[in-house]
Structure 1
Amino acid sequence: MPEQTFAATAVPSADGDPLSAEDAKLVTLARSSRARVGGAEGAAVRDQDGRTYAAASVALPSLTVTALQLAVAQAAASGATKIEAAAVVTEASALDGAGHAAVRDLAADAPIHVAGPSGTLLGTVTE
């Protein structure tokens, strides 16, 4: 199977509005996942039933998975059919394309909140 590549997505600047409590929880879970393993990224998603899934990026010699891809995969493997919202904690200035595509596989319009390592919201991708 050929490897797919996805372009990074620009993150619009945060508008100053605070996140809802549910979306802030996603950022907290993503930060915790990242810190627990010292990963480059942490991510969390909430499915249509309100269940949350958190993950950190994986970089092995034979497998590389972004945190957001892994969180979406966990949700899908648990039977989720829709993602309501997602959050990624990263030092990058753009949302990785593969993670963005994974969320869009289960939700065309779910907000993807991108935060820095301190948890400060950098912006939200809605496309």
Structure 2
Amino acid sequence: MAELDPEDAKIVTLARSSRARTGAAEGAAVRDTDGRTYAAASVDLPSLKLTALQAAVAAAVSSGAPGLEAAAVVTAADAVDAASVAAVRDLAPQAPVLRADASGAVVDVVR
């Protein structure tokens, strides 16, 4: 992959940190159209299950984000699941979703 824009590198770092801090399966971060960032990890409770990206989008929406510029997910999965991408698309039909491995290396971009 080409070198990341510094703002995209920031959300990958935030996603990676969220995953490492909680020991969750995934970490994610989003950047809204005002440049604010929101990070989250997977939620796996008996009564509530959210992917990390769904949780990050929920944090952005609950903080009043008008839209998203980009999203990043750090995961061992081979792809970003459809529900996660759908959450981003609800706010930003064209925003790139970066998929990175545990080292933070971007391995795919969902457009």
Please classify the TM superposition score into its range, dividing by the shorter chain length. over 0.9
Structure with more contact order per residue of length (Cα contacts < 8 Å, sep ≥ 6):
1
- The aligned amino acid for 1:91 is A
After the TM superposition, which parts of structure 1 deviate over 3 Å for at least 4 consecutive aligned residues?
Answer: none
SS at match of 2:34: coil
Distance in structure 1 (CA, Å) of the matches to 2:50 and 2:97: 17
Deviations 1:70-107 (A, max 9, x none): 00000001111210000000000011111100000000
Q: Which residue of 2 aligns with 1:55?
A: 40
Separation (CA, whole Å) in 2 of partners of 1:79 and 1:22 = 20
Counterpart in the other structure of 1:80? 65
* Matches of 1:17 and 1:117, distance apart in 2: 18
Structure 2 residue 91 is matched with structure 1 residue 97? no
Deviation string 1:27-78 (CA, Å, 9 cap, x unpaired) is 0000000000000000000001000000000101111100000000000011
- Secondary structure (helix, strand or coil) at the match of 1:109 reads coil
Count of residue pairs the alignment pairs up:
111
Question: Any gaps of 5 or more consecutive residues in structure 1?
Answer: 1-15
Q: Determine if the alignment matches structure 1 residue 124 to structure 2 residue 105.
A: no
- The TM-score normalised by the length of structure 2 is 0.98
Identity %: 66
- Any unmatched runs of 5+ in structure 2? none
Give distance in 2, aligned partners of 1:114 and 1:18. Answer: 14
The structure with the largest helix share of the pair is 2
